């Protein structure tokens, strides 16, 4: 008899879980009738994946394919796998995903990862496996970062993750608390989540319209440990909330989301910046990150915890030391106000303004859909195997927008919109 979870834990409100599944399809993806869906999920998150599948077919999905991963199988690889195996990845699988996306399938990821799963494993093996996986995933990832398709990410409260966020509670209590935090952040704890998301998207759109109207040349950040100037890519465009994919479908790539974001110029970043929240990356907590940029490239980097992993990430490829995204989030965002550290970038990035190392989004250019890879690079867009967000915003950070002549406009003061 199978012992995987057929139903959600009793601590998880089934009605809200069903609303989250509905939002994933109707808001996150806006799945089109007849459109196929490729979904990934952990074994622990199958209760949500099943509900998503049901709502997908109710919305007229063509074929829903779910790829499932398991923590115990992942650990078995790192503890017993052959040494040479850590430089390999299932390229055939990602080639298949890329083919599905090329034929119009939507993409949905259900995140429920134990952030510390690989914390006690050999960091060299973790780094090698991640790099091999990133290389193999590139054909599929390019369809996602280029917004060729509608895609989204949602989360499910795995017990191991819940205990990390609420270490002093019994497991069922921790799961219930994390579930409620996910439902609140994902805006499904209201009577009409779809209408709530429509209003939220409108508010984010007003921010992007103001920023695009200003057409800043760069942003200047100041605060404790931070004096950083981020040049913005030539012809950049601010996005936030709902975005139009090249297939004509409007999607919300992240559930939840509080950010407005654009593409920085990969060769025009100067100064120092300090992280304001820990980064949970592939089972390692990287804390107190401090880096210095010259001509867009990180030339110094340190961290009080996880520095070895940070250095390996920066050495992934040439683009790993440059920025691919800059995002603005008010310090008073609902996720920030919760006071929780989720150890999950999907949530923590929506608690603070942040930057991302690595690959840029071609969608964040005016007429980005028509630009070639060479044109994106010429305008300052970065290319890399990685895309890793980390938080640099807080209630002590000020941000100014600078035009081409150096004239300043306040954008944020003490972490809030100015």
- Say which residue, 79 or 4, is predicted with more confidence: 79
**Per-residue pLDDT tens digits for 137-175:** 999 999 998 889 999 999 999 999 999 999 999 999 999
**Predicted confidence (pLDDT) per residue in 257-283, tens digit:** 999 999 999 999 999 999 999 998 877
Distance CA 327, CA 399 (A): 12
Transcribe 278-337 into DSSP letters.
-EEETTEEEBS-EEEEETTEEEEEE-SBSHHHHHHHHTSSGGGGSEEEEEE--TTSHHHH
Q: How does pLDDT run across 225-235, given as a tens digit for each residue?
A: 999 999 999 99
pLDDT at residue 54 is higher than 70 = yes
Residue 9 has pLDDT above 80, yes or no: no
Residues 6 or more apart from 139 whose CB is under 8 A from it? 94, 95, 98
Record the tokens describing residue 344, joined without a space.
């999950």
Predicted local distance difference test score (pLDDT) of residue 363? 85
- Residue 134, classified by CB atoms within 10 Å of its CB into exposed (0-12), middle (13-18) or buried (19+), is buried
Q: Which residue has the tokens 């008010």?
A: 330
- Give the DSSP letter of residue 361: P
pLDDT tens digit string along 356-387?
999 998 889 999 888 999 999 999 999 999 99
Segment 277-303, tens digit of pLDDT: 999 887 788 999 999 999 999 999 999
The mean-pLDDT minimum among 2-6, 66-70, 133-137, 296-300 falls in: 2-6
**HSE, side-chain direction, 13 A CA sphere, residue 10:** 3
Task: Tell me 363's DSSP state.
Answer: G
- Contact between 329 and 346 (Cβ < 8 Å): no
Integer-rounded Cα radius of gyration of the chain = 20
Domain spans of the chain? 14-185, 215-238+258-417
pLDDT of res. 264: 98
CA–CA distance, 43 with 163 (Å, rounded to integer): 18
Q: Per-residue pLDDT for 2 more than 50?
A: no
What is the pairing mode between strands 354-358 and 323-328?
antiparallel
Strand partners, 391: 354
CA dist 175 and 166 (Å) reads 9
Helix axes 193-214, 14-23, angle to 10 degrees: 40
pLDDT at 85 over 50: yes
Query: H/E element holding 412?
Result: strand 408-413
The Cα angle at residue 345 between residues 343 and 346, in degrees rounded to 5: 115
4 pLDDT more than 60:
no
pLDDT of residue 334: 92
For residues 8-35, average pLDDT: 94
30 in the Ramachandran plot: left (φ > 0), alpha (ψ -120 to 50) or beta? left
For 85-98, the DSSP string reads: GGG---HHHHHHHH
Spatial CB neighbours of 190, under 8 Å, sequence gap ≥ 6: 196
What is the CATH topology of the domain spanning 14-185? Thermophilic metalloprotease-like (3.40.1830)
Whole-prediction pTM: 0.88
Would you state the structure tokens that stand for residue 52, as one six-digit string? 């998503």
pLDDT band for position 5 (cuts 50, 70, 90): low
pLDDT at residue 10 in the model: 77
Q: H/E element holding 269?
A: strand 264-274
| Listed residue (249, 247, 230) closest to 356, CA to CA | 230
Report pLDDT for 1.
38
d(CA 384, CA 364): 16
Which pLDDT belongs to residue 15?
96
* % of the chain beyond a pLDDT of 70: 98
Share in percent of the chain as helix, strand, coil (round to 5): 40, 25, 35
């Amino acid at each position: 008899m199978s012992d995987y979870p057929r139903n959600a834990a009793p601590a998880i409100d089934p009605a809200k879980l069903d609303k989250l599944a509905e939002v994933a399809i109707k808001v996150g993806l806006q799945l089109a009738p007849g459109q196929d869906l490729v979904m990934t999920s952990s074994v622990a998150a199958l209760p949500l994946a099943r509900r998503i599948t049901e709502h997908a077919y109710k919305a007229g999905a063509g074929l829903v394919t779910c790829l499932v991963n398991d923590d115990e199988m992942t650990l078995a690889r790192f503890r017993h796998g052959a040494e040479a195996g850590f430089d390999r990845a299932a390229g055939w699988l990602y080639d298949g995903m890329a083919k599905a996306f090329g034929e119009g399938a939507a993409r949905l990821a259900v995140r429920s990862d134990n952030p510390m799963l690989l914390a006690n494993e050999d960091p060299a093996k973790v780094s090698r496996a991640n790099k091999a996986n990133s290389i193999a995933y590139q054909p599929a990832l390019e369809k996602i970062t280029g917004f060729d398709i509608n895609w989204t990410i949602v989360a499910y409260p795995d017990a191991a993750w819940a205990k990390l966020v609420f270490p002093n509670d019994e497991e069922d209590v921790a799961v219930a608390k994390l579930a409620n935090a996910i439902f609140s952040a994902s805006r499904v704890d209201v009577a009409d989540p779809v209408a709530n998301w429509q209003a939220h998207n409108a508010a984010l759109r007003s921010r992007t319209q103001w920023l695009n109207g200003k057409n800043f040349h760069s942003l200047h950040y100041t605060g404790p440990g931070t004096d950083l100037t981020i040049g913005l890519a030539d012809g950049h465009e601010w996005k936030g909330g709902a975005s139009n994919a090249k297939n004509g479908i409007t999607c919300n790539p992240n559930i939840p989301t509080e950010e407005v974001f654009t593409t920085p110029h990969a060769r025009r970043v100067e100064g120092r910046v300090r992280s304001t929240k820990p980064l949970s990356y592939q089972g390692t907590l990287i804390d107190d990150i401090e880096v210095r940029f010259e001509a867009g490239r990180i030339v110094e980097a340190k961290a009080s915890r996880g520095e070895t992993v940070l250095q390996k990430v920066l050495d992934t490829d040439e683009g790993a030391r440059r920025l691919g995204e800059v995002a603005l989030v008010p310090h008073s965002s609902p996720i920030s106000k919760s006071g929780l550290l989720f150890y999950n970038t999907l949530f923590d990035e929506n608690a603070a303004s942040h930057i991302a190392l690595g690959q840029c989004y071609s969608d964040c250019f005016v007429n980005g859909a028509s630009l070639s890879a060479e044109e994106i690079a010429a305008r300052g867009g970065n290319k890399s195997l990685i895309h890793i967000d980390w938080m640099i915003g807080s209630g002590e950070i000020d941000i100014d927008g600078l035009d081409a002549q150096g004239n300043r406009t306040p954008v944020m003061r003490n972490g809030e919109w100015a």
